[in-house]
DNA sequence: TTAACATCTGCATATATGTTCAAATGTTGT
DNA sequence: ACAACATTTGAACATATATGCAGATGTTAA
């Protein structure tokens, strides 16, 4: 029997989801945000202050990450704390960071 | 001594590189292309035919991936064969695919 | 050198995306 | 209820990105 290339290709629907997942890590600001949230819980203002990005921009990114279910949020008083708690996501992200840092 | 959040944040330069790496996997067409090239060598025409994407579009993507050093190319006659041969990249990609496929 | 085929390239363009701004919403303490 | 603070939201805008098209380049066989 013969091996068909089409059997190797991800169907478009799955591929779109994979692309969407990786898109979460494809922006400099989001990478910086996630580099914190994979290690410790943090609120919007704290992130904005430490990353030098506006609170609004941070919030937009977090909304996106929340809709993708990549971060969890918890309100404590006026503040909302975010974190990444999925070990697979953390591992995936860290692997990308490691690969970049190994290249020098 | 106290733990500063700034110590957790990836510097902008590194973050930009990480984002760039993940951007390679952040487009549906590229994901489909890579889903083949992580498993077997393939040429431009073959990819175009099996993915239903124009040869020009495929070539544009491959140029990008080549510049990122994520794929290797080898010319055999008129055809140019591409593949992904870095085990870390393959693992990273596969991990993303696995995560999506586990979610159903 | 031609012809035929495969791939690549630059440009144009439509769409997607990140950020800012201003205003809205939510929360706490007075 | 009000003021003060934190976060969210939607609209507008500027930039980035994917793709098609037309032509250029590379390769082989005659």
Residue B61 CB partners (closer than 8 Å, separation 6+): B27, B29, B30, B33
SS (H, E, C) A66-87: HHCCCCEEEEECCEEEEECCCH
Spatial contact of B27 and B33, defined as CB atoms under 8 Å apart:
no
pLDDT digits (tens, 9 = 90+) for A7-56: 889 999 999 999 999 999 999 999 999 999 999 999 999 999 999 999 99
Is the confidence at residue B104, as pLDDT, over 90?
A: no
Tell me the percentage of chain B whose pLDDT exceeds 90: 90
* Domains parsed from chain B with CATH numbers: 29-102 (1.10.10.10)
Please check whether strand D approaches the CB of B23 to within 7 Å.
Answer: yes
Q: Write b or e for each residue in B35-64: b if 16 or more Cβ atoms lie within 10 A of its Cβ, otherwise e.
A: bbbbbebbbbebbbebbebeeeebeebbee
Instruction: Give the residue numbers in B contacting A (CB under 8 Å), as ranges.
Output: 5-6, 8-10, 12, 14-32, 35-36, 39-40, 42, 46, 50-51, 88-89, 91-92, 95-97, 99-102
Q: Distance, in angstroms, between B53 CA and closest chain A CA?
A: 11
Please check whether strand C approaches the CB of B74 to within 7 Å.
Answer: no
């Amino acid at each position: 029997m013969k091996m068909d290339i089409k059997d190797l290709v991800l169907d478009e629907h799955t591929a779109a989801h994979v692309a969407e997942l990786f898109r979460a890590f494809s922006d400099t600001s989001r990478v910086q945000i996630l580099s914190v949230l994979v290690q410790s819980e943090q609120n919007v203002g704290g992130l904005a202050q430490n990353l030098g990005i506006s609170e609004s921009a941070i919030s937009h990114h977090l909304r996106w990450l929340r809709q993708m279910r990549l971060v969890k949020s918890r309100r404590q008083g006026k503040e909302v704390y975010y974190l990444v708690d999925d070990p697979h996501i953390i591992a995936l992200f860290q692997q990308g960071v490691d690969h970049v840092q190994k290249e020098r």
